[in-house]
Structure 1
């Protein structure tokens, strides 16, 4: 199994209630069940006020590297990524577990 972690940082001046952000969150919430390669899916807003913390996270899992690749290339995932590019940056980590 491969764990796929994504940590998002909203751009300066962008708030959680920004309509673009709301739409972006909804797009990623809708991926569970829509992309068959997803084996585990959770996401949510950070609750820490530490200055080094990111704002939003996705924690997901896939059977193998091919399944992760298919997820990354899936049109629904790409549509969500396009939304988030407008208002955030992110980092990822993919590891075997």
Structure 2
């Protein structure tokens, strides 16, 4: 199994209630069930106020690297990525477990 972690940092001046952010969260929330390669799917807003904290996280899993690749290339995922690029940056970690 592959764990796929994504941590998002909203750009300076962008808040959670920005309509683009609301739409972006809903786009990613809707991926569970739309993309068959997803084995588990969790997402949510960070509540920590530590200066090094990111704002939003996705924690997901996939059967193998090929399934992760199909997910990454899926048009629904790519649409969400395109939107999030407008208002955030992110880091990822993919590992086997």
TM-score normalized with structure 1 length: 1.00
Cα deviation code 1:43-93 (max 9, x no counterpart): 000010000000000000000000000000000000000000000000000
What does residue range 2-81 of structure 1 map to in structure 2 within 5 Å? Answer: 2-81=2-81
TM-score normalised by L of structure 2: 1.00
Unaligned runs of 5+ residues in structure 2 are none
For residue 90 of structure 1, give the secondary structure of its aligned residue in structure 2. Answer: strand
**Residue of structure 1 in register with 2:87 after alignment:** 87
Pairs aligned (count):
97
What is the RMSD computed on CA atoms of the aligned residues? 0.2
Unaligned ranges ≥5, structure 1: none
